[in-house]
Structure 1
Amino acid sequence: MQFDDNADLDTSEVEDSRGGRIPGGGATIGGGIIGFVALVLGLFFGVGPEQLGLSDGGDQPAATSSPATRVDQVCRKGSDANTRDDCRIVAVVNSVQDYWRSEYERRGGTYGTASTELFTQRVGTACGTATSAVGPFYCPGDRQVYLDLDFFEELRTKFGASGGPFAQAYVVAHEYGHHVQNLMGTLGRAQDGRTGADSNAVRVELQADCYAGVWARHATTTPDEKTGRLLLTKLTDQDIRDGLDAAAAVGDDRIQERFQGRVTPESWTHGSAAQRQQWFHRGYETGDMARCDTFR
């Protein structure tokens, strides 16, 4: 995965709150890619957000980073994205949103931009207060993606993914898939309270995987709308394999087997490893969001 060293990065699409103080409050799952791990534990053991460490009771310092290392200070060019994880997230957000803006325009619509907030430990959102235990998530209430960069190490060490830059990109693109669903009015279908392999919750997550694959198909041919030059210049077969591996690592069956020692499809909320790979691959192979109708 390679970005144009001389391409400009737009840090206005990423808010860096690492180092801030966040008030305590109720937790939210918020549609995160693996936030359902906590939900699964709750379903198995009957415990709530407080016991799972997903909510906080008061104001506490939440970070260690210096303002001098925030993305708006250090992420200027594609060369920064090629060497720093936080700058890579900025570049991926730019690329994903450049694609969806162009796709919406091609279809005669207008894409509404969503920002990403980088945080550490806990964050306040329109969906409530969440801790890093939730994993990356999208909040439809404020149309923002929330991400603690430490998640990517956990994806590799705790969930067994091979890692790599494109595994990170897949996660971000998946969350922006939820934003597209929110704009289209389909995201709310996951909130009917049902779980299971055929539930709307699973169908929503698989569609977000498919949308991530659609972006990946067009990522190296979508120019920056401001400069007209390509930001992401190279994706390899290995990059796509890393994305597929990350998708499998956060499949319900893989996570249940790893953390519970058994698989219970009736409690699935995100889909199996095979399903997640299948729908990401469908999006990547077709490059057509119309082929991502998981509700049929």
Structure 2
Amino acid sequence: MTFNEGARMDSGRVSTGGGGGGGLGGKFAIGGGAGGLIVLVLALLLGGDPGSLLGGLSGTTESGQNSGAGLAGCETGADANRDVNCRVVFTAGSLDSVWGQELAQQTGTAYVPPEVVLFSGSVSTGCGNATSEVGPFYCPADSTAYFDTSFFQLLVDRFGSSGGPLAQEYVVAHEFGHHIQNQLGDIGRAQADPRGADSAAVRTELQADCYAGVWAHYADTLPGPDGGPPFLNTLTDTDIDDALSAASSVGDDRIQQSAGARVNPEGWTHGSSQQRQKWFATGYRTGQVQACDTYSARDLNNPPALR
């Protein structure tokens, strides 16, 4: 249990989508919790074509399409504790609450909530079409985070992540981290330097991990909508361990090893398991956006705020 059972919100915050085929088009999408990371890294390691796994990276960019329907039965924190789809809805509400206050206070940039779409099978996005094989991802072209919640069980079964609720909420928070990068004008850095242990791509992903930690820092203390109780109950050490477990499970080194390949930092796109844990911890301990400046960090293994 993570959410305050008395917390309430409009389940229409998250919509559902599906259908479509093809691949991610002209606008790049950012895979976060592990999603595109799993598909792309395995393809690169095994000599495959990542474009074929995504259905083809060439082609025209399409407008995002979804049903616009909210999720019925996701009105209370108790629903979020019971149902994984409702958990995404309430995590989005909690992220809105935190970033709606902290982004403006800390950076002077007014927070604009991203769209959130749950899908199964395939979905049409502003970055083109994608399938569930991509996993969770954020599309800057339509400012939308996309989730197929079956991915959460894949994290447990294939990559050894904890199945705790904060492990799942971390994935949602990471994708919202990419949206914060989009608002602050940083997200395009990943494309300019897309691979390597010290690359801008790795720094972009580690910063999104750090932003997920910033959310966790405030999520159990900031009031919910209309001054209601915080979305999350007081986080325990076990909760934080769940989030750290998820972060560790999608490190590039862990994924390379799971594919039976040697650890090759030159192919990294998201950072090592240890790095992902440390940058989440940086955000969680400090609650400060400024502490998440991975682009200026001299040593990604040792965030300044943790020294």
* TM-score (structure 2 length as normaliser): 0.86
Offset, 1:227: 3.9
Where does 1:239-250 land on structure 2 (aligned, <5 Å)?
Answer: 239-250=239-250
Distance 1:174 1:5, change over 3 A: same
**Are the equivalent residues in 2 in contact too, given 1:13–1:114 (CA < 8 A)?**
no
Q: Deviations over 1:199-232 (max 9, x none)?
A: 0000000000000011101111111243443221
Q: Which residue of 1 aligns with 2:93?
A: 94
- 1:55/1:131 contact within 8 Å kept: no
Equivalent residue letter for 1:290: Q
1:47 equivalent in structure 2? 48
What is the aligned partner in structure 2 of residue 123 from structure 1? 123
Measure how far apart 1:184 and its partner are.
0.2
Aligned pairs, how many?
Answer: 281
| 1:159 paired to 2:156 | no
User: Are 1:30 and 1:127, in contact at CA under 8 Å, matched by a contact in 2?
Assistant: yes
Q: Mark the runs of 5 or more structure 1 residues left unpaired by the alignment.
A: 57-66
% identical aligned pairs: 49
Amino acid of the structure 2 residue aligned with 1:210: C
Post-superposition offset of 1:15: 0.6
How far off its partner does 1:9 sit?
Answer: 1.9
Report the AA paired with residue 23 of structure 1. G
Letter aligned with residue 95 of structure 2: V
Query: Which amino acid is 2:83 matched to?
Result: R
For the residue of structure 2 that corresponds to 1:260, the secondary structure is coil
* 2:251 is equivalent to residue 251 of structure 1: yes
What is the aligned partner in structure 2 of residue 24 from structure 1?
A: 21
Structure 2 SS opposite 1:37: helix
SS of the equivalent of 1:217 reads helix
More deviation, 33-42/165-174? 33-42
Q: TM-score, normalised by structure 1?
A: 0.89
Tell me the CA shift for residue 194 of structure 1: 3.2
Match of 1:144 in 2: 144
Equivalent-residue separation in structure 2 for 1:232 and 1:75 (angstroms): 15
Question: 2:111 aligns to what?
Answer: 111
Question: Structure 1 CA distance, aligned partners of 2:293 and 2:215?
Answer: 16
Shift of 1:49: 4.5
| CA deviation after TM superposition for structure 1 residue 286, in Å | 1.0
Matches within 5 A, 1:203-282: 203-282=203-282
RMSD: 2.0
The letter for the 1-side match of 2:174 is H
Inter-partner Cα distance in structure 2 for 1:53 and 1:109: 34
State the shift of 1:262 in Å.
1.1
- Distance in 1 between residues matched to 2:105 and 2:175, nearest whole Å: 22
Is 1:173–1:211's contact at 8 Å kept on the other side of the alignment?
yes
Mapped partners of 2:229, 2:161: distance in 1: 32
Q: CA deviation at 1:39?
A: 1.6
SS in 1 for 2:243: helix
Aligned-pair CA distance for 1:45 = 4.1
SS of structure 2 residue aligned to 1:261: coil
* 8 Å CA contact retained: 1:120, 1:132: yes
Query: What is the CA–CA distance in structure 2 between the aligned matches of 1:6 and 1:228, rounded to whole Å?
Result: 9
Deviation at 1:197, TM superposition (A): 0.5
The answer to whether the 8 Å contact 2:117/2:146 transfers is: yes
Counterpart in the other structure of 1:36: 37
1: CA distance between counterparts of 2:70 and 2:231?
A: 17
Q: Give 2:204's aligned amino acid.
A: V
Offset of 1:12 from its aligned partner?
Answer: 2.7
**CA offset digits 1:226-275 (Å, max 9, x no partner):** 34432212211101001101101000000001113311100100000010
The aligned amino acid for 1:90 is V
Contact 1:54–1:134 under 8 Å retained in 2: no
In 2, the alpha carbon distance for the partners of 1:79 and 1:210 equals 28
Q: Separation in 2 of the partners of 1:260 and 1:27?
A: 27
CA deviation after TM superposition for structure 1 residue 53, in Å: 5.6
Contact 1:27–1:49 (Cα < 8 Å) also in 2:
no
Amino acid at match of 2:5: D
The offset of 1:79, in angstroms, is 1.2
Shift, 1:10, TM fit? 2.3
